[in-house]
Amino acid sequence: MRLLFALVVSLLTALPASAGEAPRARDLGVPFNGVPGPLNAITDVAGVTVGQTTLIEDLADGRAVRTGVTAVLPRGGDTLQRPVFGAWFALNGNGEVTGTTWIEESGQLEGPLMLTNTHSVGVVRDATIAWRIRQGGPDASGYYWSLPVVAETWDGHLNDINGFHVKPEHVDAALAGASGGPVAEGNVGGGTGMVCYEFKCGIGTASRIVEVLGETYTVGVLVQANYGLRDELVIAGVPVGRRLREHRIYSEPDPNAAGTGSIIVVVATDAPLLPHQLKRVARRPALGVGRLGSIAHNGSGDIFVAFSTADGSLGRSDRLLTHHSLPNDVLDPLFGAAVEAVEEAVVNALVAARDMVGDQGRYAKAMPHEELIEVIARPEH
């Protein structure tokens, strides 16, 4: 058994790393609707920065660290000073996102949004508070306490999750390294050890540009995707999972590993939306994962957070605030953009991920690009 694993490991690690830039889903010819932003990433929303700490290390006794932290800062370096309006929704709540009770109550997201593995939510939460304290003074809302937003998916198939390998310094590094520009996808940050549709998966991102009432707005999405069964996967309407059934190379010593998992979706926009409107946006990822064939398994934490950077008035308690919002009647383009960007972000995560051997020799193979191209090009049922 162990020998077999070792063999597979060497086979997998022998695969050549992609030379140069990794292709993204649309580079492979996967068709998507809508118009992406310049980066086709959450960072197309002005001000949003992303930082990621990726932890990959082999320890004694077959234990392997395959995890990390992803930080999304709604306003980059200005995130603590100026909250954003926010909202959340759980399509299936087998997961943790701390801070949601205050998001719901306040209508605001008052700091960064952190993603990590299920068993490291606590350390990331407290470390985010410590980081905030080090920035000096009470946070923007004037309180002396913090209720950080930390989300998770479970990487226990590939990662030694019960080794608690995420440390405060990894949180600090993700926060300190956050920047605009292209966002690394696949086996990185909180997504390092994630698996979806029984393919290696992880972090993915995408964006859409829409026009509403004569103005141009951006909707950006970042996912930490770790859900779904192979047979369920549909891409661009094609039952890719069933067509690539023979490509199932996925170790399953753990009977609970398959069919479980979760997806965290972060939707950012610069469109002026109030919290109750962002709640509407936060439900749309359900339609995006619906297009991909998801049934939202019992074991899945399918939890979605949306925020808008448009409002610059938040964070003051000493005066009346002024806000803008789009009328409800014109929100459809934003709803559609959210659906489309979620769909593409997950496929981007699948395409960007690389084969990985992890804890106790368990492994997950990435989606083969050539075969994907082929089945997409020849759709059949």
Cβ neighbours for 43, distance < 8 A, ≥ 6 positions apart = 49, 50, 180, 181, 182, 183, 205, 220
Does the protein bind its own copies through residue 339 (CB under 8 A)? yes
Give the footprint of its own copies on residues 350-379 (CB under 8 A): 379
Cβ neighbours for 339, distance < 8 A, ≥ 6 positions apart = 284, 285, 287, 288, 291
Indicate if 302 belongs to the active site: yes
Does the protein bind its own copies through residue 307 (CB under 8 A)? no
Which range in 4-12, 74-82, 333-341, 344-352 contacts its own copies by CB under 8 A?
333-341
Which range in 67-75, 89-97, 195-203, 350-358 contacts its own copies by CB under 8 A?
89-97
Of 44, 172, 270, 302, which residue is the catalytic one?
Answer: 302
Indicate if 300 belongs to the active site: yes
Kindly tell me which of 12 and 284 has the beta carbon lying closer to its own copies: 284
Does the protein bind its own copies through residue 143 (CB under 8 A)? yes
Give the nearest distance from C-beta 370 to its own copies in angstroms.
19
Radius of gyration of the CA atoms of the chain, in A: 20
Angle, in degrees to the nearest 10, between helices 275-283 and 332-352: 50
| DSSP labels, 79-110 | TTTS-EEEEEEEEEE-S-BTTHHHHHHHSEE-
Give the footprint of its own copies on residues 40-59 (CB under 8 A): none
Does the protein bind its own copies through residue 305 (CB under 8 A)? no
Query: What letter would DSSP give residue 148?
Result: -
**C-alpha of 236 from chain center:** 20
Does the protein bind its own copies through residue 173 (CB under 8 A)? no
Cβ atoms of 99 and 145 closer than 8 Å: no
Indicate if 106 belongs to the active site: no
Q: What is the 3-state secondary structure (H, E, C) of 9-66?
A: HHHHHCCCCCCCCCCCHHHHCCCCCCCCCCCCCHHHCCCCEEEEEEEEEECHHHCEEE
Of 172, 300, 311, 355, which residue is the catalytic one?
Answer: 300
d(CA 253, CA 138): 48
Give the nearest distance from C-beta 235 to its own copies in angstroms.
9
Does the protein bind its own copies through residue 245 (CB under 8 A)? no
**Which one of residues 76, 156, 202, 228 is an interface residue with its own copies (CB under 8 A)?**
156
Cβ neighbours for 164, distance < 8 A, ≥ 6 positions apart = 119, 120, 123
Residue linked to tokens 């492994």: 363
Does the protein bind its own copies through residue 336 (CB under 8 A)? yes
Does the protein bind its own copies through residue 90 (CB under 8 A)? yes
| DSSP labels, 248-260 | --B--SSTTTTT-
Does the protein bind its own copies through residue 18 (CB under 8 A)? no
Does the protein bind its own copies through residue 24 (CB under 8 A)? no
Kindly tell me which of 122 and 182 has the beta carbon lying closer to its own copies: 122
What are the residues facing 356 on neighbouring strands? 364
Which range in 48-56, 72-80, 174-182, 269-277 contacts its own copies by CB under 8 A?
269-277
Does the protein bind its own copies through residue 297 (CB under 8 A)? yes
**Which one of residues 127, 195, 203, 264 is an interface residue with its own copies (CB under 8 A)?**
127
Does the protein bind its own copies through residue 135 (CB under 8 A)? no
What's the token pair of residue 354?
């690389």
Cβ atoms of 359 and 349 closer than 8 Å: no
Kindly tell me which of 51 and 86 has the beta carbon lying closer to its own copies: 86
Does the protein bind its own copies through residue 169 (CB under 8 A)? no
Which range in 35-43, 200-208, 267-275, 351-359 contacts its own copies by CB under 8 A?
267-275
Does the protein bind its own copies through residue 248 (CB under 8 A)? no
**Which one of residues 61, 246, 370, 380 is an interface residue with its own copies (CB under 8 A)?**
380
**Which one of residues 70, 192, 294, 308 is an interface residue with its own copies (CB under 8 A)?**
294
List, by residue number, the catalytic residues.
262, 300, 302
